[in-house]
Amino acid sequence: MQQEAKLIIFTAPSGAGKTTIVKHLLKTRKDLAFSISACTRSQRYGEVNGMDYYFLSLQDFKRRIEADEFVEWEEVYDNQFYGTLKEEVERLLALGKSVLFDIDVKGAVNIQKHYPERSLSIFVKPPSADTLFARLRGRKTEDEESLRKRIARASDELTYECKFDYTLVNDNLEVALAEAEKVVEAFISEGNSGLEKLKHGNGHHA
Ligand SMILES: Nc1nc2c(ncn2[C@@H]2O[C@H](COP(=O)(O)OP(=O)(O)O)[C@@H](O)[C@H]2O)c(=O)[nH]1
Ligand SMILES: Nc1ncnc2c1ncn2[C@@H]1O[C@H](COP(=O)(O)OP(=O)(O)O)[C@@H](O)[C@H]1O
């Protein structure tokens, strides 16, 4: 029997590794699709419009807020807006795909509220704040100002862990990717009971 399509939300402070994990899962499972968010920040080297994000002007983003086109949106950094378009989520669910999200902690809380029955929220936790900052610097995508903003926001975001269904510690990447695969499989095939079984087996307390 075909399983009902689900929503799987990855959230974390910048640099924790959610994009890396989401990209890995998309390669391993064809029943998953990525919810491409809209945002107003500028495109990074290597990012593709309509694949990584829909890069919009501030004016266009604000027009879409007025037109009620978003499931949720946040001004994540000053004048940098990010949001999930209703049309995007509906399109992917209609294809029968389970939808993966890579969004900030407040957006994740909002998506959970919209789809309480069929969403799973996973908080990606770095082994320490220092490791998080080192990864963010090592990624070399941000200038000093942008790094400063991300680091300043991270301490607050780390306090949101308890709001989510599952904590995935991203220390060794291979271990984290394997755990992410298991959690997604458990939830897609058996829903919350599958998740509980997995947590129980792991001695996981989140
Ligand atoms: N609320 C919300 N946050 C989003 C959305 N898309 C991306 N984000 C978050 O915005 C933050 C900044 O993303 P980005 O500029 O790609 O930087 P990065 O986190 O350093 O890779 C991250 O926490 C993303 O997860 C969205 O649709 N809604
Ligand atoms: N377990 C890990 N060990 C070392 N580096 C990692 C690990 N996970 C991710 N990274 C690296 O850390 C940086 C931030 O990861 P990224 O997936 O962009 O995070 P996010 O999407 O949460 O901002 C990237 O350069 C990525 O290659």
DSSP of 114-166: HSTTTEEEEEEE-S-HHHHHHHHHHHT---HHHHHHHHHHHHHHHTTGGGSSE
- Read off the pLDDT of each residue in 173-201 and give the average, rounded to a whole number: 95
* Domain assignments of the chain as residue spans, ordered by start: 7-202
Q: What is the pLDDT of residues 140-176, one digit of tens each?
A: 999 999 999 999 999 899 999 999 999 999 999 999 9
The region that residue 173 occupies, defined by phi over 0 for left and psi between -120 and 50 for alpha, beta otherwise, is alpha
What pLDDT score was predicted for residue 4? 82
Q: Is the pLDDT of residue 1 over 50?
A: no
Task: State whether the beta carbon of 12 lies less than 6 angstroms from ligand 2.
Answer: yes
Q: Which residue's C-alpha comes closest to atom 16 of ligand 1?
A: 14
CATH architecture of 7-202: 3-Layer(aba) Sandwich (3.40)
> Which atom of ligand 1 is nearest to 41's Cα?
15
Task: State whether the beta carbon of 101 lies less than 6 angstroms from ligand 1.
Answer: no
Q: Is the pLDDT of residue 81 over 60?
A: yes
Which band of pLDDT confidence, cut at 50, 70 and 90, is reported for residue 202? confident
Q: Is 13 annotated as a binding residue?
A: yes
- Read off the pLDDT of each residue in 33-51 and give the average, rounded to a whole number: 97
> Which atom of ligand 1 is nearest to 103's Cα?
25
Q: What is the pLDDT of residues 93-150, one digit of tens each?
A: 999 999 999 999 999 999 999 999 899 999 999 999 999 999 999 999 999 999 999 9
Task: State whether the beta carbon of 20 lies less than 6 angstroms from ligand 2.
Answer: yes
Task: State whether the beta carbon of 84 lies less than 6 angstroms from ligand 1.
Answer: yes
